[in-house]
């Protein structure tokens, strides 16, 4: 099993190379810092009203999977099997 490595990348260092959804850190001034998930388009930039507040970004991790073999379908099948017994 490979372990993904995630690190914050300052926007002053570089921007994403591909259009995708990213986790971003916002500098909200006196309100501190916040984290949101937003879309980045290589042609249009960040898709958020907080675009000027973004100070760093990172790739989003893969969603949680209950089971590696069949994923969510196995969970649903197990649920319905229990209900019938």
Q: How far apart are CA 11 and CA 56, in angstroms?
A: 5
How confident is the model over 66-73, as a mean pLDDT? 59
User: Would you give the end-to-end CA distance of the chain in angstroms?
Assistant: 35
Asked whether residue 57 is assigned to any structural domain, the reply reads: yes
Domains contained in the chain, number: 1
Asked whether residue 38 is assigned to any structural domain, the reply reads: yes
Model pLDDT for residues 10-47, shown as the tens digit of each residue: 999 999 999 999 999 999 999 999 999 999 999 999 99
Q: How far apart are CA 37 and CA 25, in angstroms?
A: 9
Who wins on pLDDT, 76 or 7?
A: 7
Asked whether residue 80 is assigned to any structural domain, the reply reads: yes
Asked whether residue 4 is assigned to any structural domain, the reply reads: no
Q: What's the domain range around 64?
A: 9-84
Asked whether residue 1 is assigned to any structural domain, the reply reads: no
Asked whether residue 2 is assigned to any structural domain, the reply reads: no
Q: What is the pLDDT of residue 2?
A: 52
Model pLDDT for residues 37-57, shown as the tens digit of each residue: 999 999 999 999 888 999 999
């Amino acid at each position: 099993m490979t372990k993904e490595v995630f690190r914050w990348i300052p926007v002053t260092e570089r921007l994403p190379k591909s259009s995708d959804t990213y986790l971003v850190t916002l500098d909200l001034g006196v309100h501190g810092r916040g984290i949101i998930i937003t879309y980045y388009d290589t042609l249009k930039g960040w898709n958020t009203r907080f675009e000027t507040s973004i100070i760093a970004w990172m790739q989003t991790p893969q969603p949680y999977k209950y089971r590696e073999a069949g994923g969510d379908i196995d969970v649903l099948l197990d649920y319905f099997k229990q209900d019938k017994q």
